[in-house]
Structure 1
Amino acid sequence: MADTTREIERKFEFSKAASARRGLPDLTGTAAVAAVTDQGTVELDAVYYDTPDQRLAADGLTLRRRTGGADEGWHLKLPVSPGVRDEVGAPLGDTVPPALAALVRSRTRGAALTPQVRLVSSRHVSHLLDADGTLLAELSTDDVVAERGEATAAWTEVEVELADGVDPGLLDAVEKTFRKAGLRVSDAPSKLARALAETGAEPPARPDGRGPGSGDTAGAHVLAYLREQRDALVAHDPAVRRDLPDSVHQMRVATRRLRSALKTYRKVLDREATDPVGDELRWLAAELGVDRDQEVLAERLQAHLTELPPTLLTGPVRERLRTWNTARRSASRRRALDALDSDRYISLLNTLDATLDAPPLLDGAARSPRKTLRKAVLRDYARLAARIDSALALDEGRERDVALHEARKAAKRVRYAAESAVPALGKPAKRLAKAVKKVQSLLGDHQDSVVARDALRGLADQATDAGEPAFTWGLLYGREEALAERRERELPAVWAKASAPTLRTALK
């Protein structure tokens, strides 16, 4: 993957009462700034690429090819939070680098990336230094000319970008000084956004939920939730490709929330139309799950090894675990990326969009959200109760393990249903979700122990075949077995709290 940097910056512009010709105020003495050094002027020429309908701009992403300056090349900027973006760079070339094209695939979906806007900037740069001469931030004043076809626009903007590790409070101090000099924080999140606006090419509006199922109805609530999860699914795609921490988990959660909601709200959306979408979401979750499950399993086994005193670590156990995990993670990550690179995945995203743009609403969609969503949540809750009762009635063993795993999945569905209903049902739904989450967590730890024991048995076999002691793997197996038994003993009490009548009656 190309180089990535985290940008924390703030953009300013001169108010109408002020003029760029007055220049900038001296920032010496602002917060920890002890000196401001002139770094000269550089000429920048950037061409911004997007789909013809500007899908990247609609989501706040920018992709450019820029010449001039020390970092000329291709740059993809991904929003993290207001004023914070990750910039992924690639060497200068004539075509969009494949690595960057892959990071925006969940948005472009096969549409061509072509030049949309050209920005030519004359940038005057200064460095803000502390008393030791350490760089705190880069201060840039840009005279910008934007060209989009025959339309042009020009403006001056000021940008302060923090150096690595600098307290973001410096930006607040700079802003206070700038305000007194007639500068204000720019309304535009990026140069591209301003260029599009000032050349008459506004980016496409984000979906606002109007149309079928609008208003204070069950359909409006369900569709708003589904759109939120669809957006999360798309947004986490680049993070998974970049192998960022917890990214696979978050993308998988969005996938599962979508699928769960399509099942839960079968009185709102026609299952005959949505079941095929749910099937594809299940496929995606499974493909992502292989990598996520291996990640969780390896972390669990490593933690257990760390807990053991050195005298109980016999043989090269850490090396064996590392080798085992590396081989499995390589295959599981490749599987996840293959899924994201597949035509099937793009078809799923397009079908999901089409379903939400023209939702197959049933009569229940027009009804009161409170009554309809409450019934849906309680229906899922009754399903969970039946599964837990069935599991607890079984003797310990493989059959009970499977039943508890099914109860865990049911608990997750109730939790998701309750969380999705919070806007309509308020605190009672939030309390139910919190209580059921404890059941889900307990059952999840139990299932993780079942999976860990299977892995430990395999590691013991590998060690034996290699002539290594298998003692440590057997010891961890026994600890996992004991942990699972404890979770089973704890379940009735945890479930009793989640099944308290007051939790259910509060929803009514």
Structure 2
Amino acid sequence: MADTQREIERKYESDDSGLPDLTAVAGVATVIDKGVMNLDAVYYDTADERLAAAALTLRRRTGGSDAGWHLKVPVAPGVRDEIREPLSDTVPRTLAGLVRARVREAELAPLVRLRSDRDVRHLVDAEGKLLAEVSVDAVRAERLTEGGGTAQWTEIEVELADGGDPVFLDKVEKRLRKAGVRPSSSSSKLARALQETAPRSAKKKRKASSAAPQDPVTAGDHVLAYVRAQRDAILELDPAVRQDAHDSVHRMRVATRRLRSTFRSFGKVLDRGVTDPIGEELKWLAGELGVDRDREVMTERLATVLGELPRTLISGPIRTRLRTWANARRGGSRRRLIGVLDSKRYLALLDTLDAVIAEPPLLPDTAGKPEKVITKAVRKDFGKVSALVEEAMEAPPGADRDLALHEARKKAKRTRYAAEAATPALGAAARALTKSMKSLTSLLGEHQDSVMVRVTLRELSAVAHAAGESSFTYGVLYGREEQRAAGVEAALPEAWKAIVAEGSVQV
């Protein structure tokens, strides 16, 4: 079973003069010498260094107190999650799975070996509590591939104790800077090793490819920047989804929807003959991600409305029935989702997205002024929303209105995503439209949730009745959901009038 540790650390250049007196750091009572550890780590990557490009590090390390396999995943600047597995001769399946979206069909192989003599100090407070671990590392790096070189350097590493306040690292840095120590120019030992041990030809190629990206100029540039951001979101969320991290499935699903909507909204920029098949694959992925997500949403909603009821209105084992329904498909669902993420179909979709970004199927309209092209696309989407909202408000209450409101919600989401993509080009007007469409989708989402909850309540009521249980409370909840939906329908005309009056549609 993999173990995950949050790592908050900072690295500094060292001129071999050692550490300054760290008892001068506010809060530090004692600096305890923990001796020298000899660490030996082999880092794995693909031949084209895909993990390094994503700031991911996969290593097999011996020595020290945490020997084993480690995968480090960036969380924020200076913050990484380290996922650990016991020592073995090959890359553990769990860690290989967590990087599969990056590696795909390529082979993971030893790339760099780092041997470090780590001189460790513990900074503790007056009560003996560990505040941070400070080490001076003498590093020897060796490239393990043909033509690679060697390098060596010394650095200082300061790692915050578990549960510590990151502000303490600022205090340590202030003391180090006062002593002439400066932050490292490399984000990690591996990054420095890759740079300093690379063959000369690779160094030239790396330097040429490291130029800062150009600001968007054309309509195509703006749309592709948004497409790239959503592709990156899918890749970055993949490990979190595999680990069942909170809200990760929902966020990946949103990224797939944003991509699909962008391809449809900007069909005059990117050739839909190319992007429509990709959109169908994105729809498939969103559907797979949503199998359990929709049930989670319904479960949360039902638990909330049930909790609002007075106890006198609750009859029968309704809470037990709800738990049974919620857990009915949970068994095996994680394995099913991991199977989707390991499938050739999913990995092929990622390859296709990469190809669209590398060689975009741009149409002639991309050569025009971006403001004109993008504005036209966003206005077209808003026009569809407007027509659907008007249709829904004119329809009599019932299934037809429910369907029209649901369609309006989907188009409002699409318009919101188009406005998000347009914001760098159109500025405040696009931001205002994004905000308006977010508000509208929230309102219409409340209505759609009520529709779906009522469907679920009818199903649960039928099962309870067949089992000889009271169905009274299901009826009470159904009535409340009807009132909730009616409230949304009553509020919609004024909400829509306000959106139009704001003028945010005039992008």
- Settle same-fold status: TM greater than 0.5: yes
C-alpha distance in structure 1 between counterparts of 2:168 and 2:84, whole Å: 26
2:348 pairs with 1:350: no
Q: Any idea what SS the aligned residue of 2:27 has?
A: coil
Q: Deviations over 1:30-81 (max 9, x none)?
A: 1322211111111111000001000000010000001111111100000000
Residue 37 of structure 2 is aligned with which of 31, 36, 42? Answer: 42
- AA matched with 2:419: A
Q: Hey, what does 1:298 align to over in structure 2? A: 299
Q: Hey, what does 2:18 align to over in structure 1? A: 23
Q: Specify every segment of 5 or more residues in structure 2 that has no aligned partner in the other structure, as ranges.
A: none
Q: Hey, what does 2:143 align to over in structure 1? A: 148
Q: Deviations over 1:364-395 (max 9, x none)?
A: 11111111100000000001111112222221
Conserved? CA contact 1:294–1:328, under 8 Å: no
Q: Deviations over 1:186-229 (max 9, x none)?
A: 1211110010011126696479767xxx8611111111111111
Return 450-459 or 421-430, whichever deviates more.
450-459
Q: Hey, what does 1:174 align to over in structure 2? A: 172
Q: Hey, what does 2:120 align to over in structure 1? A: 125
Q: Deviations over 1:231-261 (max 9, x none)?
A: 1111111111111111011111111111111
- AA matched with 2:431: K
Shift of 1:320: 2.9
> 1:259 and 1:43, CA in 2 relative to 1: closer, same or farther beyond 3 A?
same
C-alpha distance in structure 1 between counterparts of 2:64 and 2:295, whole Å: 43
Q: Hey, what does 2:392 align to over in structure 1? A: 391
> 1:185 and 1:313, CA in 2 relative to 1: closer, same or farther beyond 3 A?
farther
C-alpha distance in structure 2 between counterparts of 1:336 and 1:282, whole Å: 15
Return 420-429 or 36-45, whichever deviates more.
36-45
Conserved? CA contact 1:287–1:335, under 8 Å: no
2:3 pairs with 1:3: yes
C-alpha distance in structure 1 between counterparts of 2:436 and 2:265, whole Å: 19
- AA matched with 2:366: A
C-alpha distance in structure 1 between counterparts of 2:102 and 2:246, whole Å: 22
Conserved? CA contact 2:378–2:418, under 8 Å: yes
Q: Any idea what SS the aligned residue of 2:25 has?
A: coil
Q: Hey, what does 2:60 align to over in structure 1? A: 65
- AA matched with 2:3: D
Conserved? CA contact 1:464–1:470, under 8 Å: yes
C-alpha distance in structure 1 between counterparts of 2:433 and 2:319, whole Å: 41
Pairing 1:307-326 to 2, within 5 Å after superposition: 307-326=308-327
C-alpha distance in structure 2 between counterparts of 1:94 and 1:353, whole Å: 32
C-alpha distance in structure 1 between counterparts of 2:307 and 2:122, whole Å: 46
Conserved? CA contact 2:18–2:136, under 8 Å: no
Shift of 1:492: 1.1
C-alpha distance in structure 2 between counterparts of 1:226 and 1:5, whole Å: 32
C-alpha distance in structure 2 between counterparts of 1:483 and 1:356, whole Å: 44
Residue 158 of structure 2 is aligned with which of 137, 157, 160? Answer: 160
Pairing 1:90-489 to 2, within 5 Å after superposition: 90-149=85-144, 150-200=148-198, 205=209, 216-330=217-331, 332-489=333-490
Return 23-32 or 163-172, whichever deviates more.
23-32
C-alpha distance in structure 2 between counterparts of 1:220 and 1:207, whole Å: 17
C-alpha distance in structure 2 between counterparts of 1:357 and 1:372, whole Å: 22
C-alpha distance in structure 1 between counterparts of 2:78 and 2:43, whole Å: 20
Q: Deviations over 1:147-185 (max 9, x none)?
A: 003511111111111112211000100000001112111
Conserved? CA contact 1:7–1:162, under 8 Å: yes
RMSD: 1.8
Shift of 1:308: 2.5
Shift of 1:107: 0.5
Q: Specify every segment of 5 or more residues in structure 1 that has no aligned partner in the other structure, as ranges.
A: none
Conserved? CA contact 2:24–2:175, under 8 Å: no
Shift of 1:263: 0.7
Conserved? CA contact 1:209–1:223, under 8 Å: no
Conserved? CA contact 2:113–2:143, under 8 Å: yes
Conserved? CA contact 1:267–1:364, under 8 Å: yes
Residue 85 of structure 1 is aligned with which of 65, 80, 85? Answer: 80
Shift of 1:317: 3.0
C-alpha distance in structure 1 between counterparts of 2:488 and 2:471, whole Å: 26
Conserved? CA contact 2:216–2:225, under 8 Å: no
- AA matched with 2:12: F
Shift of 1:499: 2.3
C-alpha distance in structure 2 between counterparts of 1:335 and 1:402, whole Å: 31
C-alpha distance in structure 2 between counterparts of 1:317 and 1:327, whole Å: 15
TM-score with structure 1 setting the length: 0.94
> 1:364 and 1:470, CA in 2 relative to 1: closer, same or farther beyond 3 A?
same
Q: Any idea what SS the aligned residue of 2:405 has?
A: helix
Shift of 1:29: 4.1
Q: Deviations over 1:69-110 (max 9, x none)?
A: 111110000000000001111111011111111111110111
> 1:152 and 1:233, CA in 2 relative to 1: closer, same or farther beyond 3 A?
same
> 1:63 and 1:472, CA in 2 relative to 1: closer, same or farther beyond 3 A?
same
C-alpha distance in structure 1 between counterparts of 2:335 and 2:498, whole Å: 42
Conserved? CA contact 1:151–1:199, under 8 Å: yes
Q: Deviations over 1:321-356 (max 9, x none)?
A: 223212233454444322211110011010111111
Conserved? CA contact 1:128–1:138, under 8 Å: yes
Return 491-500 or 311-320, whichever deviates more.
311-320
Q: Deviations over 1:262-312 (max 9, x none)?
A: 111111111111111111111111111122212222221222222233333
C-alpha distance in structure 2 between counterparts of 1:207 and 1:12, whole Å: 25
> 1:12 and 1:62, CA in 2 relative to 1: closer, same or farther beyond 3 A?
same
C-alpha distance in structure 1 between counterparts of 2:273 and 2:421, whole Å: 22
C-alpha distance in structure 2 between counterparts of 1:133 and 1:72, whole Å: 26
C-alpha distance in structure 2 between counterparts of 1:414 and 1:268, whole Å: 16
